[in-house]
Amino acid sequence: MNKILVLLSLLFSMPILSSELPIKLTGTIDISVRNGTIDANFQLENIPKLNNYLIHLNSSFNIQYFRNEKDSFNYTYEKIYDTRYSEESFGYFFRNDTTKNKFLPDTIQFKYTGKFPVITDMNTASERGDWKGNIAFNGKTIRTDGFQTAWYPILYDIEQDKRYDEVTYDIEVICLDCKSIYVNGSKPITAKHGSFKREKPVSLTLFAGEYNIGKQNGSYYLNSGLSTPQMSELGRLTSSFENYYQEKLSLPYGENVVYIHTAPISKKDSWFFVSYPSIVTINHNKSGLSNFFDESKSSWFKPFIAHELAHYYFGTYKKFNSVLGDMFTESLAEYLSLKLTKQLIDEKTYLENINKKLNKLEDKTFTAIKEVKSSSDYGDRNQYVYTYAPIIWLAIEREIGEEKMWLWLNKMLTIETEKTDYKFMIEALANVLNDDNKLKFLIEKYFSTKNSVINAKVQLKDTINKT
């Protein structure tokens, strides 16, 4: 493909921009890392007109008011707690006094405060109990993600299953017992007070407290424990992974990632999460990220980083809603990680990872993808999205070939749709195959039968135990 065709491919594969202005967050937040307190005075602007909505705020916040733009009166609000929409937050809404229907102003002021546990002594900490959606104070830092912790007001469209966690912002962060402050999408600063602005929407991770900031080759490393050569090596690895994805998907990768390391507030919890462009590592490793350069750990670390980097496409570039959205987001990121592992890491690790998944699926049956109607149909959610579904994608790739598989993923990322559901997925596949008989065959073999695991194993038989 020549350079002109590549350029046209990239241009025409970009999502169509909405005429809707992005929501903007302005105001001030005052934090104490030692005391575990948050005092926020925010405003949301450019709020779209929605009939059925909720505004999520973390359930630990006490609301002083929701106020109109002119600062002349407070809105009377109602709140609900519904785990279908959020397990960490209350959902707030306003009613019209006359019609009793919900109404939504285009600008709202929010003032609220919260006090959270500060866990500094691991001897008395819980074994488990820290997670992505937790606003976590460990005595040295505060850690939040974006939409799940809801530390800032997040609009949710119930009808379209759409969260407006990605916002532009112009906010002030004050933390007098902090050394450094980082707001997702802005440069981290060494200061106790700072102004942060961004014109491109992003989900707001907040990380502030006592930590050092490193920078190498355009990327930042917060509390990483990495030497300068190690930062360079991680940057080189990251760039090679990003280049692989953008070449295969024919879609440009986004901005440089920010690596963050911090300790959990429980004894045994350890995990990664992505709130692009941040990749956050949570564990009790005192040397930060440096132990990942131990060769004995690279067999799991590199594929894990590949998975997290893949979430730029499946999670940021395109957000997937509907009951299958979670499965698409996680399983396709895992599929990309497997493909990259084979190509850029080593085939032995690739085969080991596939066989681990196949062994976990031994004698198991799952709800057919076509029949998933609610999250409970996943059964064991982690096994469904990280183990079962990636094996299905690998088997389908064998059926249709790599070229069409990459094109299918491109279509799923670029086709405009209100619902990223089963119908959306099948229509994208039909667009690539242009063969009704082949499509029917794949549906019957992988999407509408409880025998899909058996069928996938037959298709992948040449990889089984080939290590």
Convert the pLDDT of each residue in 315-339 to its tens digit: 999 999 999 999 999 999 999 999 9
pLDDT at 4: 36
pLDDT tens, position by position, 188-242:
999 999 999 999 999 999 999 999 999 998 899 999 999 999 999 999 999 999 9
> Residue 274: which of 246, 254, 245, 293 has the closest Cα?
254
As a whole number, mean pLDDT of residues 87-109 equals 93
pLDDT tens, position by position, 222-234:
999 999 999 999 9
Report yes or no: 193 and 171 within 8 Å, Cβ to Cβ.
Answer: no
pLDDT at 46: 97
Strands 189-190 and 108-115: unpaired
Strands 258-262 and 219-222: parallel
pLDDT at 467: 59
pLDDT tens, position by position, 331-367:
999 999 999 999 999 999 999 999 999 999 999 999 9
Please give the DSSP secondary-structure letter assigned to residue 87: S
Amino acid at 295: E
Angle of CA points 100, 154, 37, to nearest 5° = 115
- Cα distances (Å, whole numbers) of residue 372 to 323, 437, 456: 7, 23, 19
Strands 24-32 and 166-174: parallel
Amino acid at 86: S
As a whole number, mean pLDDT of residues 64-87 equals 93
> Residue 184: which of 259, 235, 102, 98 has the closest Cα?
259
d(CA 199, CA 181): 19
> Residue 223: which of 210, 236, 241, 242 has the closest Cα?
210
Per-residue pLDDT band at 12 (split at 50, 70, 90)? very low
**201 SS3 class:** strand
As a whole number, mean pLDDT of residues 144-156 equals 95
Question: Which segment of 25-34, 42-51, 225-234, 283-292 scores lowest on mean pLDDT?
Answer: 283-292
d(CA 20, CA 420): 20
pLDDT at 7: 38
Q: What is the pTM of this model?
A: 0.88
Q: 2-11: long-range contacts at Cβ-Cβ below 8 A with a sequence spacing of 24 or more?
A: 6/250, 9/250, 10/250, 10/251, 10/252
DSSP codes of every residue in 164-180: E-EEEEEEEEE-TT-SE
pLDDT at 14: 41
Tokens of 294: 């131990």
Q: How many residues does the chain have?
A: 467
d(CA 318, CA 157): 17
Cis amide bond preceding 15, omega within 30: no
Per-residue pLDDT band at 11 (split at 50, 70, 90)? very low
pLDDT for residue 34 is more than 70: yes
Question: Which segment of 86-90, 144-148, 265-269, 421-425 scores lowest on mean pLDDT?
Answer: 144-148
Using a pLDDT cut of 70, give the percent of the chain over it: 95
pLDDT for residue 67 is more than 50: yes
Please give the DSSP secondary-structure letter assigned to residue 250: T
Q: Which domains does the chain have, with CATH numbers?
A: 29-211 (2.60.40), 216-310 (no CATH), 325-463 (1.10.390)
User: 17 or 435: whose pLDDT is higher?
Assistant: 435
pLDDT for residue 287 is more than 90: no
- Cα distances (Å, whole numbers) of residue 196 to 100, 152, 172, 207, 454: 39, 14, 6, 13, 52
As a whole number, mean pLDDT of residues 243-259 equals 96
Average pLDDT, the chain: 92
pLDDT at 147: 87
